[in-house]
Chain A
Amino acid sequence: MDKRRQVVGKLKFTSRLALVILLVVILFGLGADLFAFHSPQLPSGPALEGPSRVHWLGTDDLGIDLWAQICQGARISILVGFGVAVLAGIGGGLIGMLAGYYGGCIDRLVMRTIDLMLVLPDLLLMIVLGAFFGPSISNIIIVLSLLSWAAPARIVRSRLISLKQEQRVTAAYSYGAGFWHLTRYHFLPELLPLLMVSNIKLVGKTIVAEASLSFLGLGDPTAKSWGIILNHAINFSGIYFTPYWRWWVLSPLVALTVLIAAIAVLSRDIEKIINTKI
């Protein structure tokens, strides 16, 4: 807790702002129903209405309130982003630790798999797996986790291997310390910050991946994510030549850009702090 406060204390102004943005998005996402007074699924006014006091961001071609959709989209982005980060971060971290600690056959197998995972275009895999198994939100989270564990696993593994060669670990090992002791006192304190940075980056990457997928119209058709709003908007014929894009296209676009920029700034800054500390 104390350490976390230290890290927060060292953040620059830009990343404090980024942190605030991230928290706001999480708040709106989780409390979507509280902050939006209209349904994100059903029409609540005339179609293609500009921003007004009733519909803060206007409505789409079916008369559905856009602010409600954006809040709903925030929820999906947060859900997918953090869900994958937790699943892939913990899973990948664990795999990386086991591979790095035990070495040998397991390590080689894991490394080969990691190499393969890092090589393949992830959007392609997502589309293909989505096509075969159905693109529901839970499937997307699972598929993205399956595709994303490799990066944290590799980072954790290589750090663990270098830690294993440090003499304090050799010394502890020679006193008979087992995997759990070493992990608790020697590995985790070093690995957690790395894993944290890698997970924050993963959140950003995942949000982009989900948005890309639904932007292509290949995501979960029932979930109103930002990608899907954008997809509907630019597939509306003649959107370029009407004024509708000003609220219909811009709102998801700005939301996505701001969130991703916030996460990028935050992860870069935290990484810098951690690197100088190590």
Chain B
Amino acid sequence: MEETILRVKNLTVIYHGGKEPAVHQVNFALKRGSSLGLIGESGSGKTSIGLAIMGLLTKTATIEGAVYYQGTELGSLSVKERSSFYWRKIAMVFQNSLETLNPVLTVGEQIEECLRRHTTLTRVESKEKVKELLIKVGFDPARGLCYPHQLSGGMRQRVLTAMALSCDPDVLIIDEPTTALDAGAKNEMIQLLAGLHRERKFALVVISHELPVIANLTSRIMVMYKGKIVEEGKTKDVLKAPQHTYTRGLINSSPALNPYRDLWGIPGAREEATTDGCNFFPRCSQRLESCKNIPPRLEDVFMERKVACHRGGIVTLLQGKGISKSYRFKGKTIMACVDCEIAIRAGEVVALIGESGSGKTTLAEIISGVLAPDAGEVFFERERVSGHNASARKNGLQIVFQDPFSALNEHFTVEQAVREPLEILKLGTLVERKALVKQMLKELQLPGEDEDFLMRRCYTLSGGQRQRVALARSLVLEPQLLVADEISSMLDPSTQANMIRMLKGLQNTKGFAMLFITHDLMLARKIADTIYVMRQGRIIQQGPVSGAFSYLTVRDGSRDTLIEK
């Protein structure tokens, strides 16, 4: 049970005529009965790995590295020797399309020819075996005489599966087993494959961009981006707590894993990737300058998890430990925060929800350094937050307050208000400051090019406009973390909706992290990655919002009470 059946070592595939490798230095090993999922956007090289293992790219690509089947290197075999491995030991279920099966041969014949080629069965015996195989995959054996075009997508998928299983392989590679199927057929297919895997104990490789398929069929997962593995680990853990920003983006983009939340794709590249740096550099939200030039190696970050990232995976931007705070009010001591623990990772939206008076604003102010805690510590980028050391700088931490009316100096012009932090910190020349202000206002969908608007006094603005100006003032310092304290609660529903969508959009493209404080669970669920629930100064629940497995606990805990308030 413990022997390694398939080992892929430093596999690199470069298609003829292509510059970039489609697969770059991929390593993995599979034991009997184990399973591995390969996910990634289309064109990430998942299928090329499967085809390379099957020896199908020898004519169209240059292949480096090696594939071993129980110690035999498959690339070194002669054409004759190969036939005793391919299909007999390693078989593949190709991606289902009308053209995957030969349209002018019956499906029965296409299964039978594998048996005739690789086994010693007689004609009669192989016909019998074909029937058995078809029954096994839930396909009416009488329809073995059908041609592929007479079958539905689900039926064809079953035929492809039966064909791959025909010689009882030790390794089965399945490419996108559910793409052509409707929801019902999808579930059936997953059940079938899971059952076959349990029963036959082959090593299984599932290639898919559909996370639920991977989640259901595999125990380990590898995430691919542009031919490279960027994250590797146990499927359950990776999906629950992705360590690479790309993996997180994939999970955020999956409707199946995000039944309630708005979908946000991974933003496109802002610049060309350099050839020697990290592939994901142009799209990464926590990149450093050094990422541009040095390729990251796939390294262990903790048990059973590898990530290819110079920063060791998604960094924890802010950590609050044992934060407590109490007020004395009319002789009574009110515990606003009791031993609160909070962690915010780069590029992540954390929602802190609770009824009014639950202490969430206090916590937010402690985190931002506005308020000093009675006990406990806050670290921003591993540095202790005290006073304004985290907020009085570029790329730091910024807070936006609930009340837009008191947050702005009413007599400032719009330009002055937004420019204020730049002036305080003496950043850039006057011209640069003005340009930055204008651009920021435009990104917040305010008429930044309009000189009249820039000269308007803040008291002439509406609540929604003021809140945007306040946001612009915070974002002009390009913070890594934005603490947004009930910023939409004083706005009417339509203005609120616009504001939240705009903010989430900015967050997604700019990639900053956000602590979003609200009393509205439904709103939080729309935009947050992680939710913390506070009640009477304590954090009573926390967990990722994505996926059904995480949400149930939150709902049981506090949904009803929160909504009714």
Are A and B close enough to touch in the complex, i.e. CB under 8 Å? no
